[in-house]
Amino acid sequence: MFNDIGPLELVTLIVLAVLVFGPDKLPKVIQDVTRTIRKIREFSESAKNDIREELGPEFKDFEFEDLNPKTFIRKQLDNEDLGLKEIRNGFDLKKEMAEVTDAVHSRDSDTSSASSAGSAGSSGGRIDMTKKPETPDPDDRPPFDADAT
């Protein structure tokens, strides 16, 4: 219940409780709080039992923790009836990404080697940086598609 409270925070809460309630009233306040927590737990357990009884015998194994989406998905992934383990094990994301990366790199190296081979014959493998890039003809526009806009 208090997994995220550190020792310094716990000491701070105890000191604050002593200052607020005083050393005389603190034991009674702790008893009242624990009694209230116990009653709330008993109430929630009786409510859970009432709901299980109302649902009927087909839901006798129903756990309220299954209503948590993470728990539900984890439980369904472990279910052998659906065959999801085979799908999950058959799909290797790292392998797929490596194949895509290799395909992209080989295509880039193919196009760069082809372009460098074409320019290598004319300038000895160098790129002419003094030459201005070709500007497209303003009359050579792509066709206008009225449906696309």
Reported as a single tens digit per residue, the pLDDT across 66-85 is 778 888 777 777 666 556 56
Distance of CA 71 to the CA centre of its chain: 14
> In the chain, how long is the greatest CA-to-CA distance?
97
Residue type, 21: F
99-113 pLDDT, tens digit per residue, is 888 888 886 655 555
Residue 140 belongs to some domain of the structure = no
Structure tokens at 126: 């160098």
Q: What confidence score (pLDDT) does residue 124 get? A: 53
Structure tokens at 26: 């603190």
Residue 41 belongs to some domain of the structure = yes
Question: Does the pLDDT value for residue 5 go beyond 50?
Answer: yes
Name 116's Cβ contacts closer than 8 Å, sequence gap at least 6. Answer: 125
Tally of domains within the chain: 2
Least confident of 23-32, 41-50, 77-86, 87-96: 77-86
**Both 84 and 107 in a single domain?**
yes
Question: Does the pLDDT value for residue 128 go beyond 90?
Answer: no
3-state secondary structure of 120: helix
Residue 136 belongs to some domain of the structure = no
Q: What confidence score (pLDDT) does residue 119 get? A: 46
Quick one: average pLDDT of 25-46? 94
**Both 58 and 71 in a single domain?**
no
Question: Does the pLDDT value for residue 95 go beyond 60?
Answer: yes
Residue 120 belongs to some domain of the structure = no
Q: What confidence score (pLDDT) does residue 109 get? A: 59
Its domain, for residue 47, covers 1-62
Q: How many residues does the chain have?
A: 149
Least confident of 54-68, 72-86, 110-124: 110-124
pLDDT-derived band at 121, boundaries 50, 70, 90:
very low
**Both 52 and 91 in a single domain?**
no
Residue 133 belongs to some domain of the structure = no
Residue 124 belongs to some domain of the structure = no
Higher pLDDT, 52 or 114: 52
**Both 39 and 91 in a single domain?**
no
